[in-house]
Amino acid sequence: MSYTFSNLGIQCVKKKDIEEALRLREEIRVDPFKTGYSHAKQPATIDLNAVRLCFQVFLEGQQRGRFTEPLQPVVSDVIYDKKAMSDLVICKLSDACASVAGGKEIILLCEKVAKEDISVRFYEEQHGHILWEDVGEFQHSNVHKQVAISFRTPRYRTLEIEQSVMVNIQLRRPSDGATSEPLPFELFPLDSANLKPKRKRPNTWDAPEHIPEGAPGAYYNLL
């Protein structure tokens, strides 16, 4: 059995009115998941640009005309306020290259994003055709204050390359498919990841063959 609601509207609440709105809910006992209302005292922790719709059905109880038997509540997917969403922009990358094996940690600075609605997309394109694409690996907790993302690069479609491959990196918002302008990103072969040992730097200071004992700068062999 299913039911369809049409023309539903979402009423926006200003941050200064959060506590009052939750107080009214508490008065009429709207708390389907029994989470309480303590978050009313911490309005800064509530994202006012994202909401889920909750639906709960009550069946008629033993007393006719009294609907007192609740069914398990269900919630919708997250609905985002598109008006509040800024354009996706990558401001800076901590690095613009990685091994084809993936797993390199990158820090990406960006304009404000919703941590539940953002992905870091890598893709390779030739003549308008997508040859490969994947996403960076990160958790919601890796999005810092909505303006920085710490993620790990994905593995390339093949590890058998002899020369670096240029791909693109961009932000993507899954809810509406919006993307940022892409930036170039280099994937280098596995062999390139093994750095050659650094040569010892030659000692450019040559001591004079003889310094008179007791002279300024003289040294003594204590062995």
**What pLDDT digit, counting tens, does each position of 165-200 carry?**
999 999 999 988 999 999 999 999 998 755 444 454
CB atoms within 10 A of CB 118: 19
Rounded-to-integer distance, Cα 124 and Cα 166, Å: 7
pLDDT of residue 194: 52
For the chain, which residues score pLDDT lower than 50? 195-198, 200, 204-208, 211, 217-223
pLDDT of residue 104: 98
Helix/strand/coil for 147:
coil
- Residue 126: enclosing H or E segment and its boundaries? strand 119-126
pLDDT of residue 126: 92
Rounded-to-integer distance, Cα 135 and Cα 137, Å: 6
pTM beyond 0.95 = no
Contact 64, 33 (CB under 8 A): no
Give residues with Cβ within 8 angstroms of 130, minimum separation 6: 123, 124
pLDDT of residue 151: 98
Q: Which domains does the chain have, with CATH numbers?
A: 15-83 (no CATH), 85-192 (2.60.40.10)
